[in-house]
Amino acid sequence: MHGTLSNRPAATGFFLTFEGGEGAGKSTQITRLADKLRARGHDVVVTREPGGSPGAEAVRHVLLSGAAEPFGPKMEAILFAAARSDHVEQVIRPAVERGAIVLCDRFFDSTRVYQGVTGELDPAFVQALEDVTVNGIVPDMTLILDVDPQLGLARAVARRGQGVADRFEKETLAIHQRRREAYLAIAEAEPDRCIVIDASGEPEEVETVVTAAVFAALEARAPMPTAASANV
Ligand code: TYD
């Protein structure tokens, strides 16, 4: 297990992250899952990276426009970390502490994969940066939506329409393939946290698998506060 849980209070909510390559369908699945959880009365916070808090959103533009690209992956990793630190302290930690379920579109695995593996950074540097950034806030569960990059990129292009590919989307198929392998390696190394989900099917099929995995994990835990009880 990476990171330390020492800054995490004993009675908490549930922190769930979604990861995967371009066009894996994370945002669709997060929206659908949030609706189902809310219908069951849970307090649900949906957020994303890079961004999710005003400070992090300010950094998002610098990263996705490619403005930081000329300065190299180390610079980008530190900027992603700066955005994440703000997001953790302003949004994720308070939500988890009050007992909410937090659904986050990308988190530290994206930095490990995009900057660490395909940016070829020293793993010790990436780990040290991660530890200070998350300061004990480690996902309870990470769903890795796995899709062949060729299919994922085709979906991303269809979604984008006439828009321009962002800094990371425009990279070569070989790089996206390495990222897919890096995600699968993380899942293998951390089977207690990570579940790999085949995301090549229709959204409804993927949703069935996501829902089953999340509900099973929630049921295995102590009873969660519902929105009604959390607000009293
Ligand atoms: P975004 O438009 O949010 O799209 P999506 O998550 O649907 O792909 O783009 C975020 C991009 O930033 C994405 O290409 C992955 C990249 N990224 C990193 O390289 N490192 C990180 O730590 C994070 C959070 C994202």
Q: What is the pLDDT of residue 53?
A: 98
- Residue to substitute in 106, 111, 160, 164 for testing ligand 1 pocket (most ligand atoms within 8 angstroms of CB): 106
Nearest CA to ligand 1 atom 8: 22
| CA 12–ligand 1 middle distance (angstroms) | 27
Check whether 164 has a pLDDT greater than 90: no
Nearest CA to ligand 1 atom 22: 111
Cis upstream peptide for 94 (omega within 30°): no
User: What are the tens digits of pLDDT across the range 16-48?
Assistant: 999 999 999 999 999 999 999 999 999 999 999
75-81 long-range contacts (CB < 8 A, ≥24 apart) are: 76/115, 76/119, 77/111, 77/115, 77/116, 77/119, 77/121, 77/125, 77/126, 77/129, 78/129, 79/50, 80/49, 80/50, 80/110, 80/111, 80/115, 81/111, 81/129, 81/130, 81/132, 81/133
Q: What is the pLDDT of residue 3?
A: 40
Nearest CA to ligand 1 atom 5: 22
Query: Is residue 130 within 8 Å of residue 49, measured between CB atoms?
Result: no
Between CA 123 and CA 62 the distance in angstroms is 24
| CA 114–ligand 1 middle distance (angstroms) | 8
SS (H, E, C) 89-153: HHHHHHHHHCCCEEEEECCHHHHHHHHHHCCCCCHHHHHHHHHHHHCCCCCCEEEEEECCHHHHH
Q: Which atom of ligand 1 is nearest to the CA of 111?
A: 22
Q: How is residue 82 written in tokens?
A: 């700066």
- Residue to substitute in 30, 109, 114 for testing ligand 1 pocket (most ligand atoms within 8 angstroms of CB): 114
Nearest CA to ligand 1 atom 17: 110
User: What are the tens digits of pLDDT across the range 85-143?
Assistant: 999 999 999 999 999 999 999 999 999 999 999 999 999 999 999 999 999 999 999 99
User: What are the tens digits of pLDDT across the range 46-94?
Assistant: 999 999 999 999 999 999 999 999 999 999 999 999 999 999 999 999 9
Q: Is the pTM of this model over 0.75?
A: yes
Location of structure tokens 């060729």: 150
Is the four-CA dihedral 60, 214, 177, 188 of positive or negative sign?
positive
174 Cβ partners below 8 Å, 6+ apart? Answer: none
| CA 69–ligand 1 middle distance (angstroms) | 14
Which residues does a 6 A CB cutoff place in the pocket of ligand 1? 22, 49-50, 64, 80, 105-106, 110-111, 114-115, 166, 168-169
Nearest CA to ligand 1 atom 13: 168
